Amino acid sequence: ETGVTQTPRHLVMGMTNKKSLKCEQHLGHNAMYWYKQSAKKPLELMFVYSLEERVENNSVPSRFSPECPNSSHLFLHLHTLQPEDSALYLCASSQDTRGGSTDTQYFGPGTRLTVL
Amino acid sequence: AQKVTQAQTEISVVEKEDVTLDCVYETRDTTYYLFWYKQPPSGELVFLIRRNSFDEQNEISGRYSWNFQKSTSSFNFTITASQVVDSAVYFCALSEPYQNNNDMRFGAGTRLTVKP
Protein backbone atom coordinates (compact mmCIF):
# COMPACT_ATOMS: atom_id res chain seq x y z
CA GLU A 1 0.00 0.00 0.00
CA THR A 2 1.45 3.33 -1.05
CA GLY A 3 1.74 6.14 1.46
CA VAL A 4 1.12 8.73 -1.24
CA THR A 5 -2.02 8.59 -3.34
CA GLN A 6 -2.95 10.60 -6.40
CA THR A 7 -6.25 11.07 -8.19
CA PRO A 8 -7.20 10.81 -10.91
CA ARG A 9 -4.72 8.36 -12.37
CA HIS A 10 -5.58 9.39 -15.91
CA LEU A 11 -7.02 12.66 -17.18
CA VAL A 12 -7.86 13.87 -20.65
CA MET A 13 -8.81 17.51 -21.01
CA GLY A 14 -9.30 20.12 -23.64
CA MET A 15 -7.33 23.33 -23.69
CA THR A 16 -10.26 25.35 -22.35
CA ASN A 17 -11.07 23.03 -19.47
CA LYS A 18 -10.33 23.53 -15.80
CA LYS A 19 -9.38 20.50 -13.77
CA SER A 20 -7.53 19.68 -10.56
CA LEU A 21 -5.10 16.98 -9.57
CA LYS A 22 -5.16 15.75 -6.01
CA CYS A 23 -2.43 14.27 -3.87
CA GLU A 24 -2.72 12.90 -0.36
CA GLN A 25 0.04 11.56 1.86
CA HIS A 26 -0.45 9.27 4.85
CA LEU A 27 3.15 9.31 6.07
CA GLY A 28 3.04 12.16 8.57
CA HIS A 29 5.31 14.28 6.40
CA ASN A 30 5.18 18.05 6.24
CA ALA A 31 6.71 18.77 2.84
CA MET A 32 5.04 18.02 -0.48
CA TYR A 33 6.16 18.35 -4.07
CA TRP A 34 4.81 18.43 -7.61
CA TYR A 35 6.97 17.08 -10.42
CA LYS A 36 6.39 16.93 -14.15
CA GLN A 37 7.73 14.01 -16.15
CA SER A 38 7.62 14.48 -19.92
CA ALA A 39 8.77 12.00 -22.46
CA LYS A 40 12.51 12.11 -22.96
CA LYS A 41 13.07 14.77 -20.29
CA PRO A 42 14.33 14.45 -16.72
CA LEU A 43 11.91 14.92 -13.89
CA GLU A 44 11.20 18.60 -13.42
CA LEU A 45 10.41 19.98 -9.99
CA MET A 46 7.43 22.33 -10.24
CA PHE A 47 6.46 23.31 -6.71
CA VAL A 48 7.56 22.64 -3.15
CA TYR A 49 5.45 23.19 -0.07
CA SER A 50 6.87 22.91 3.43
CA LEU A 51 4.60 23.27 6.45
CA GLU A 52 1.88 24.33 4.02
CA GLU A 53 3.89 27.27 2.72
CA ARG A 54 5.17 27.41 -0.80
CA VAL A 55 8.96 27.51 -0.61
CA GLU A 56 9.79 27.09 -4.25
CA ASN A 57 8.25 27.68 -7.62
CA ASN A 58 10.52 26.75 -10.46
CA SER A 59 9.24 29.31 -12.95
CA VAL A 60 6.16 27.30 -13.73
CA PRO A 61 3.57 28.95 -16.03
CA SER A 62 0.61 30.48 -14.24
CA ARG A 63 -1.79 28.04 -15.91
CA PHE A 64 -0.59 25.66 -13.17
CA SER A 65 -1.77 26.73 -9.73
CA PRO A 66 -0.88 24.72 -6.62
CA GLU A 67 -2.77 24.63 -3.36
CA CYS A 68 -1.75 23.07 -0.06
CA PRO A 69 -4.60 23.36 2.46
CA ASN A 70 -2.83 21.19 5.06
CA SER A 71 0.25 19.04 5.37
CA SER A 72 -1.51 15.95 4.06
CA HIS A 73 -3.09 17.34 0.91
CA LEU A 74 -1.76 18.98 -2.19
CA PHE A 75 -3.64 20.08 -5.28
CA LEU A 76 -2.60 21.22 -8.71
CA HIS A 77 -5.24 23.32 -10.43
CA LEU A 78 -5.05 23.34 -14.20
CA HIS A 79 -6.58 25.82 -16.63
CA THR A 80 -6.10 26.68 -20.29
CA LEU A 81 -3.36 24.12 -20.71
CA GLN A 82 -1.43 23.49 -23.88
CA PRO A 83 -0.81 20.16 -25.62
CA GLU A 84 2.84 20.33 -24.55
CA ASP A 85 1.66 20.15 -20.95
CA SER A 86 0.73 16.51 -21.54
CA ALA A 87 2.89 14.52 -19.14
CA LEU A 88 2.95 12.39 -16.03
CA TYR A 89 2.49 14.58 -12.96
CA LEU A 90 4.02 13.09 -9.84
CA CYS A 91 3.45 14.10 -6.27
CA ALA A 92 5.94 13.36 -3.50
CA SER A 93 6.25 13.99 0.20
CA SER A 94 9.03 14.07 2.78
CA GLN A 95 9.87 15.51 6.14
CA ASP A 96 10.68 19.20 6.09
CA THR A 97 14.29 19.20 5.02
CA ARG A 98 15.43 22.78 5.16
CA GLY A 99 18.46 23.41 7.28
CA GLY A 100 21.08 20.99 6.16
CA SER A 101 19.52 17.58 6.14
CA THR A 102 17.74 15.54 3.55
CA ASP A 103 14.90 13.16 4.03
CA THR A 104 13.79 10.75 1.38
CA GLN A 105 10.98 11.77 -0.92
CA TYR A 106 8.24 9.21 -1.41
CA PHE A 107 6.26 9.37 -4.60
CA GLY A 108 2.69 8.73 -5.59
CA PRO A 109 1.68 6.77 -8.70
CA GLY A 110 1.21 9.89 -10.79
CA THR A 111 -1.54 11.33 -12.94
CA ARG A 112 -1.16 10.78 -16.67
CA LEU A 113 -2.45 13.99 -18.22
CA THR A 114 -3.32 14.37 -21.88
CA VAL A 115 -4.23 17.79 -23.23
CA LEU A 116 -6.07 17.76 -26.53
CA ALA B 1 24.84 22.12 -15.85
CA GLN B 2 23.94 18.48 -15.60
CA LYS B 3 24.28 17.42 -12.00
CA VAL B 4 23.52 13.76 -12.48
CA THR B 5 24.48 11.79 -15.54
CA GLN B 6 23.14 8.39 -16.41
CA ALA B 7 24.93 7.70 -19.64
CA GLN B 8 23.10 4.47 -20.39
CA THR B 9 19.75 5.32 -21.91
CA GLU B 10 18.63 1.74 -22.39
CA ILE B 11 19.99 -1.63 -21.35
CA SER B 12 18.63 -5.00 -22.36
CA VAL B 13 19.71 -8.23 -20.68
CA VAL B 14 18.52 -11.78 -20.48
CA GLU B 15 17.13 -13.09 -17.23
CA LYS B 16 19.75 -14.20 -14.68
CA GLU B 17 22.41 -11.91 -16.10
CA ASP B 18 24.03 -9.35 -13.83
CA VAL B 19 23.64 -5.73 -14.87
CA THR B 20 25.19 -2.49 -13.64
CA LEU B 21 23.55 0.90 -14.04
CA ASP B 22 25.96 3.81 -13.97
CA CYS B 23 25.46 7.13 -12.24
CA VAL B 24 27.95 10.01 -12.18
CA TYR B 25 27.21 13.13 -10.21
CA GLU B 26 28.63 16.61 -9.90
CA THR B 27 28.76 18.71 -6.76
CA ARG B 28 31.06 21.09 -4.95
CA ASP B 29 29.51 20.38 -1.58
CA THR B 30 31.01 18.05 0.96
CA THR B 31 27.59 17.16 2.32
CA TYR B 32 25.20 15.64 -0.16
CA TYR B 33 22.88 12.69 -0.61
CA LEU B 34 22.46 10.24 -3.42
CA PHE B 35 19.38 8.22 -4.25
CA TRP B 36 18.18 5.50 -6.58
CA TYR B 37 14.56 5.11 -7.57
CA LYS B 38 12.82 2.50 -9.68
CA GLN B 39 9.92 3.44 -11.96
CA PRO B 40 7.98 0.41 -13.19
CA PRO B 41 5.43 0.76 -16.00
CA SER B 42 2.76 1.71 -13.46
CA GLY B 43 4.52 5.06 -13.10
CA GLU B 44 5.23 5.34 -9.39
CA LEU B 45 8.81 6.07 -8.38
CA VAL B 46 9.82 3.47 -5.83
CA PHE B 47 12.56 4.46 -3.42
CA LEU B 48 15.48 2.02 -3.36
CA ILE B 49 18.32 3.61 -1.43
CA ARG B 50 19.66 6.82 0.06
CA ARG B 51 23.33 7.34 0.78
CA ASN B 52 25.03 10.33 2.37
CA SER B 53 28.39 11.63 1.27
CA PHE B 54 30.14 10.59 4.47
CA ASP B 55 29.30 6.94 4.13
CA GLU B 56 31.25 5.27 1.35
CA GLN B 57 30.50 1.75 2.42
CA ASN B 58 29.00 -0.31 -0.32
CA GLU B 59 25.56 -1.66 0.38
CA ILE B 60 23.89 -4.90 -0.52
CA SER B 61 20.19 -5.61 -0.28
CA GLY B 62 19.24 -8.97 -1.67
CA ARG B 63 20.05 -8.97 -5.38
CA TYR B 64 20.73 -5.23 -5.34
CA SER B 65 24.07 -3.65 -4.53
CA TRP B 66 25.43 -0.15 -4.73
CA ASN B 67 29.00 1.00 -5.24
CA PHE B 68 29.66 4.54 -4.03
CA GLN B 69 33.04 5.98 -5.03
CA LYS B 70 33.70 9.61 -4.20
CA SER B 71 37.00 9.54 -6.06
CA THR B 72 35.15 9.10 -9.34
CA SER B 73 31.89 10.79 -8.26
CA SER B 74 29.98 7.66 -9.07
CA PHE B 75 27.16 5.78 -7.42
CA ASN B 76 26.57 2.69 -9.50
CA PHE B 77 23.79 0.18 -9.03
CA THR B 78 24.15 -3.53 -9.75
CA ILE B 79 21.37 -6.07 -10.03
CA THR B 80 22.56 -9.64 -9.67
CA ALA B 81 20.70 -12.48 -11.36
CA SER B 82 18.23 -10.13 -12.99
CA GLN B 83 14.58 -11.03 -13.26
CA VAL B 84 11.81 -9.93 -15.60
CA VAL B 85 10.24 -7.97 -12.73
CA ASP B 86 13.34 -5.79 -12.64
CA SER B 87 12.30 -4.26 -15.95
CA ALA B 88 11.77 -0.57 -15.26
CA VAL B 89 13.33 2.84 -15.61
CA TYR B 90 15.88 3.51 -12.90
CA PHE B 91 16.71 7.03 -11.77
CA CYS B 92 19.71 8.27 -9.85
CA ALA B 93 19.30 11.55 -7.96
CA LEU B 94 21.42 14.02 -6.00
CA SER B 95 20.38 16.28 -3.16
CA GLU B 96 22.54 19.11 -1.86
CA PRO B 97 20.98 20.18 1.45
CA TYR B 98 22.85 23.47 1.72
CA GLN B 99 21.77 24.57 -1.73
CA ASN B 100 18.63 24.75 -3.78
CA ASN B 101 16.28 24.24 -0.83
CA ASN B 102 17.15 20.58 -0.86
CA ASP B 103 15.86 19.94 -4.36
CA MET B 104 16.60 16.55 -5.80
CA ARG B 105 18.31 16.61 -9.18
CA PHE B 106 17.42 13.55 -11.19
CA GLY B 107 19.35 11.90 -13.94
CA ALA B 108 17.63 11.15 -17.23
CA GLY B 109 17.07 7.55 -16.22
CA THR B 110 18.14 4.18 -17.59
CA ARG B 111 15.49 1.90 -19.06
CA LEU B 112 16.28 -1.68 -18.15
CA THR B 113 14.59 -4.50 -20.02
CA VAL B 114 15.07 -8.01 -18.73
CA LYS B 115 14.02 -10.65 -21.22
CA PRO B 116 12.96 -14.13 -20.18
Q: What is the pLDDT of residues B54-73, one digit of tens each?
A: 988 888 899 999 999 999 99
Q: Which of B78, B83, B54 is nearest to B66 (CA)?
A: B78
**The pLDDT of residue A1 is above 60:** no
Please tell me the predicted confidence (pLDDT) of residue A12. Answer: 95
- Give the SS3 label for residue B53: coil
Amino acid letter at A116? L
In sequence order, what DSSP letters do the residues of chain A get, joined into one string? --SEEEE-SEEEE-TT-EEEEEEEE-S--SEEEEEEE-TTS--EEEEEEETTEEEEE-S--TTEEEEEEETTEEEEEEES--GGG-EEEEEEEE---TTT-----EE---EEEEE-
> B95: nearest CA in chain A?
A102
Beta bridge partners of A54: A49
**The pLDDT of residue A6 is above 70:** yes
Q: Share the mean pLDDT of chain A.
A: 89
> B103: nearest CA in chain A?
A45
For residues A16-28, average pLDDT = 94
Amino acid letter at B7? A
Choice between A97 and A104, residue whose per-residue pLDDT is larger: A104
**The pLDDT of residue B106 is above 90:** yes
Question: Measured between beta carbons, which residues in chain A are less than 8 angstroms from residue B104?
Answer: 45, 105
Residue B15, judged by CB atoms within 10 A of its CB (0-12, 13-18, 19+), counts as middle
Query: ω into residue A8 within 30 of 0, thus cis?
Result: yes
Choice between B98 and B48, residue whose per-residue pLDDT is larger: B48
Please tell me the predicted confidence (pLDDT) of residue A59. Answer: 85
**The pLDDT of residue A63 is above 80:** yes
Please tell me the predicted confidence (pLDDT) of residue A64. Answer: 95
Interface test with chain B among A57, A104, A112, by most B beta carbons within 10 Å? A104
For residues A82-87, average pLDDT = 94
Q: What is the nearest CA distance from A68 to chain B, expressed in angstroms?
A: 18
> B97: nearest CA in chain A?
A100
Instruction: Report residue A22 CA to chain centroid gap.
Output: 8
Nearest-angstrom CA–CA distance, B16 and A98: 42
Question: Measured between beta carbons, which residues in chain A are less than 8 angstroms from residue B31?
Answer: 100
Nearest-angstrom CA–CA distance, A32 and A93: 4
Secondary structure element (H or E) that encloses residue B47, with its range: strand B46-52
**The pLDDT of residue A99 is above 90:** no
**The pLDDT of residue B1 is above 60:** no
**The pLDDT of residue B38 is above 80:** yes
Residue A14, judged by CB atoms within 10 A of its CB (0-12, 13-18, 19+), counts as exposed
Q: What is the nearest CA distance from A64 to chain B, expressed in angstroms?
A: 20
Using CB atoms, pick whichever of B43, B50, B95 lies closest to residue A88: B43
Nearest-angstrom CA–CA distance, B43 and B109: 13
Please tell me the predicted confidence (pLDDT) of residue A72. Answer: 94
What confidence tier does A60 reach under pLDDT thresholds 50, 70, 90?
very high
Do A107 and B107 make contact, defined as CB atoms within 8 angstroms? Answer: no
Nearest-angstrom CA–CA distance, A10 and A46: 19
The 10 Å Cβ neighbour count of residue B75 is 24
> B47: nearest CA in chain A?
A106
Residue B71, judged by CB atoms within 10 A of its CB (0-12, 13-18, 19+), counts as exposed
Please tell me the predicted confidence (pLDDT) of residue A101. Answer: 57
Burial track B16-52 (b if 16+ CB lie within 10 A, e otherwise)? eeebebbbbbebeeebbbbbbbbbeeebbbeebbebe
Using CB atoms, pick whichever of A41, A55, A110 lies closest to residue B43: A110
What confidence tier does B13 reach under pLDDT thresholds 50, 70, 90?
very high
Do B43 and A55 make contact, defined as CB atoms within 8 angstroms? Answer: no
**The pLDDT of residue A100 is above 60:** no
Using CB atoms, pick whichever of A2, A98, A106 lies closest to residue B102: A98
Please tell me the predicted confidence (pLDDT) of residue B98. Answer: 74
> B41: nearest CA in chain A?
A109
